[in-house]
Structure 1
Amino acid sequence: MDWKPDRTDKKPIYKQIAEYIEHGISSGQFPADSVLPSERTLAKELNVNRSTIVSAYEELQSLGIVERKKGSGTRVSTDIWGISHKRIPNWGRYVEDGSFLPNLPLVQRIRSEIQKNDLVNLASGELSPELMPDNHFKNILATQSFIGSLGYDHPQGNDELRKTLVSHVKENKHIKTDTSSILITSGAQQALHLIVECLLKPGDAVAIEDPSYTYSLPLFQSAGLRTFLLPVDKNGANPEDLLLLHKKHRIRMVFLNPDYQNPTGTILSLSRRKKFLEISTEYGIPIIEDDPYSLTSYNNEVNPTLKSLDENGNVLYISSLSKIVASGLRIGWIIGPPQVIQRLADAKQQVDFGHSVFPQWIANEFLGSEYFNSHINMIRKQLKLRRDELVLSLKEIMGEQVDFLTPEGGIHLWCKVNPTINEHKLLEESIKNGVAFVPGSILGSNKGFIRFTYGRGQLDLIRKGIVRFAESFNHLKQDR
């Protein structure tokens, strides 16, 4: 056998062997009813452990490709292409070979655990159900009549909603735009996905903040992009770092979350905002501004968005109602040059034929009503109460064992802990103890950080969650 497994490949050796043999069976190299080499012989020939060959043969047996009998060895099935034999697709390989990468196992683990009712959820990046405008929505449904069409809507989204958004962003974000420059999306994450898939190509270099929510998204790797990091300090990302990266790697696009950044809660300073725009204009680098939190400002003052300062059309602006109204509504939007919006709208239509009619109708009614401003005022007050409770609990219970900057808006607190403690073990211990958070390694490159999200946690459970976290933390400290 001339073939040898590739030990530099991330794919397990036994899977490589199983795939090689399966291909050989398909091509006729190993005919039906022929006996495959014994486990010991093949292990010696391929210079692997016998257990590796056993695993490979067991995988082939599970697919119905080979038959194994004690004392008779492993034989290629005689009926592999016959009518009576039902061959099962190798779903495991299909799952692994897809070009769109899965979330990290740790992310999947957290999402699975937070469904449990007895867990204090300081992990989910969303509002608590009690902060969502259920009564306002019920009132809209009870008093307003749906007049729109039930057919496919405009590729860029409902025209009335886009008109309302024109007014909304002008009043609240000082962004001047028109309906031709807006695309309605299924939240901000779909907006990011459309931008990456439609405006970039494999091998392109992009700059993202470190730490950041985008750090955790596999969509950049799925698209074959090269990602480079912009470290975030107390004033946000540094535009000088973008200059250095661009000189080395020719950055094609930069992704920024300027206000109450996820996860650090920091605000990109005005001087840095202007410098990023200067660099964007000088080098022609598009800026993707992700703005889910700016309206949550606890002092009621909204910082100037990059888009409002953009005089040359260099910024694609993303926002949504997910973090300020209701995550399940799935209403987000992109604002940008009409030719870009049309390209993204065409791609969205290929995926889902445009956004669902009813969420757009409800969002339009809510945004255009008197309820919206009162709701935002309520959100600001309630989130500040939750932040204060989290900060006080951390100071009183954890003391000098943690360090953090107190955010002035948003829903996240980025907390520095002892970097020698294994954050994965800390998460597992905390989940056992009834509290969930997000380990920093999911969101950034530095060790010794965790993210607490207080927007999702109920006010009366935040302290209980920190007590449980502290117990888990101290337990691990004692075991070291």
Structure 2
Amino acid sequence: MGTNLAKYEKVMNYIKKAISSGDWPIGSKIPSQRKLAELLSVNRSTIVTALEELKAEGLIEGVMGKGTMVVNNTWTLLAASPPSWDESAPLSFPKSVPSPVLETDEIKAPDHLIELSKGELAQDIFPKDNMQQVMMRLAQSLEPFGYEEPKGYLPLRQAISDYMKKQGTNVSPDSILIVSGAIQGLQLIAAGLLHKGSTVFLEKPSYLYSLHIFQSAGMNLSGLPMDEEGLQPAPLAKKAMDGPSSILYTIPCFHNPTGILMSEARRKELLDICAEKRLPIIEDDIYRELWIDSPPPPTLQSLDSNGHVLYIGSFSKTLTPGLRIGWIAGAEPVIDRLAEMKKQTDYGSSSLSQLVAAEWISSGLYEQHLSFVREELKKRRTAALNVLNQYMSDLAEWDVPAGGFLIWLRIKKNVQLKDMHQKAYKAGISLNMGSIYTEESVQAIRLSYGYASIEEFEQGIIKLREIILEDN
């Protein structure tokens, strides 16, 4: 039995190597069972066993009238050849975004902070009444909680599947994993699929620079420039090496921290490059529903026909971060692998949170709430831009975001941002310096107009102007 196992594993490894090296690209027909048996000096039954295993892993499939074809060469391949060290390696945890200056003898914490740094919606946008109704409805039919199945509460996965279909992304409930927020999704991907020494390509600046998930798992971040349409394709094409030794992480909708919305043409260009380079993609799409002017272009995942995209969604930015509910959608063998990793980590996300999220989506309340959120964000964006035009037009530059709640404020004057950060904190303003998102000095600030009130945003910007002018 042991010898037979080694033989069919040898066949599987041979085929995986041919796929990962690009010798057998997606859409190519693999050699016949007879040819493989001759080539590898094994009997036909060993070849049949190996091919069945590879079909179960999602790498190949039989196509009527064509034979056995290669159907995936990125995430599914990584899931079929997971890192050998992941069983013992702990999941890496995010380091916190540098907070406003800590209280010292010289710097006392202000009595009240105007939060221009918070990446979440204001408390008055939180749907308190509707949340109470949802909780009361659930309380009437509540049964004892047990552990959910590894992928998460099935009615929630079904609701998310239906919701994504409305967005144009056809994903089955079995291809969805519920996670405790987008950050846990990234942790699972880093620990369960990626190998040490991999390169993570990403926008520069990017939210990912404020975490250390991938670096602590032994991977390198490689920043790429952006323009008004999003991540630039040419530098990616130049830098990306063929094969699954690297991945692309991108936030295409209302990017954090710049607020840029990637155009549909740019999405297609990036997908073409990634298909050519066999580069798997993480699409972090947690801001998608915060559009203000018009719905964003289709998801990368919906435009991708090769299974190259793992999609991350979340309710943290749209409903409340307190639910701690996000999801990953991708090829089923990949989701199976990540579900096993999650089971080892926490035995599943909160049952109560999953019940609440499922009720929100399936009842239609979520879409009603999103309409209200968009109206609120539009008011806040209008007010924020008016304030910036009035007080900052001679000191800084910025772009008008088409959604989300972030503005990347590029300071024109040469200001010592660390000093400005401290002075702002003393004056009661919380800011996020641009360096958090680049790992190097940059003359920029990430402003949020989603949390502070319209009045407080104006007060904060007036004080910020005074601080900048003090130094010049």
Structure 1 length-normalised TM: 0.75
Q: Kindly indicate whether the alpha-carbon contact (under 8 Å) linking 1:210 and 1:443 is maintained by their aligned counterparts in 2.
A: yes
Match of 1:460 among 444, 455, 463: 455
Aligned: 1:141 with 2:132:
no
Q: Which has the higher contact order (CA 8 A, sep 6+)?
A: 2
Percentage of matched positions with identical amino acids: 34
Distance 2:309 2:351 in 1: 28
Distance 1:237 1:129 in 2: 32
Counterpart of 1:364? 358
Tell me, in whole angstroms, the C-alpha distance in 2 between the residues paired with 1:308 and 1:466.
Answer: 40
Within the candidate set 197, 218, 238, 1:203 is matched to 197
Equivalent residue for 2:165, pick from 158, 170, 173? 170
**Structure 1 counterpart of 2:432, which letter?**
V
Evaluate the alpha carbon distance shift between residue 355 and residue 110 of structure 1 in structure 2; reply closer, same or farther with a 3 A threshold.
farther
1:220 aligns with 2:211: no
Shift of 1:385: 1.2
1:428 pairs with 2:422: yes
CA shift for structure 1 position 274: 0.5
C-alpha distance 146-303 of structure 1, shift in aligned 2 (>3 A): farther
CA 1:159–1:248 in structure 2 vs 1: closer, same or farther (change >3 Å)?
closer
Aligned partner (choices 431, 445, 449) of residue 444 of structure 2:
449
Structure 1 position 417 matched with structure 2 position 411: yes
- Counterpart position of 2:148: 153
Distance (Å, rounded) in 2 between the aligned partners of 1:103 and 1:476: 31
Sort the Cα spacing of 1:176 and 1:196 in 2 relative to 1 into closer, same or farther, 3 A: same
Q: Secondary structure at the match of 2:333?
A: helix
Distance change >3 Å, CA 231–CA 101, structure 1 → 2: same
Distance in 1 (alpha carbons) for counterparts of 2:415 and 2:366: 44
Structure 1 pair 301/343, CA: closer, same or farther in 2 (3 Å)? Answer: same
1:264 pairs with 2:258: yes
| Cα deviation 1:110-168 (Å, max 9, x = unaligned) | 6999x976111010111111111111110112233344551111101100100100111
* Aligned: 1:378 with 2:372: yes
CA distance in 2 between partners of 1:438 and 1:415 (Å) = 11
CA radius of gyration, larger in = 1
**Residue pairs, 1:49-128, within 5 angstroms:** 100=92, 103=95, 107-109=98-100, 118-128=112-122
Does the Cα contact within 8 Å between 2:263 and 2:297 map onto a contact in 1?
A: no
Structure 2 equivalent of residue 438 of structure 1? 432
- The structure-2 alpha-carbon separation of the partners of 1:110 and 1:385, relative to structure 1 and needing over 3 Å to count, comes to farther
Match of 2:471 among 454, 473, 476: 476
Tell me if 1:340 matches 2:321: no
Asked whether the 8 Å contact 1:208–1:229 carries over to 2, the reply is: yes
Q: Does the residue aligned with 1:154 lie in a helix, a strand or coil?
A: coil
- 1:253 offset after TM fit, Å? 0.4
**Rounded Cα–Cα distance in structure 2 between residues aligned with 1:183 and 1:387:** 34
Q: Which runs of 5+ in 2 are unaligned?
A: 1-89
In structure 1, distance between residues paired with 2:217 and 2:413 = 32
CA contact 2:244–2:279 (8 Å) conserved in 1: no
Change (3 A) 1:363 1:152: same
2:459 counterpart letter in structure 1? K
- Provide the C-alpha distance between the structure 2 equivalents of 1:176 and 1:132, rounded to a whole number of angstroms: 30
CA RMSD of aligned residues (A): 2.2
CA 1:299–1:141: 2 relative to 1, 3 Å:
same
The letter for the 1-side match of 2:268 is K
Where does structure 1 lack aligned partners over 5 or more consecutive residues?
1-97
Instruction: Please state whether the residue corresponding to 2:255 is helix, strand or coil.
Output: coil
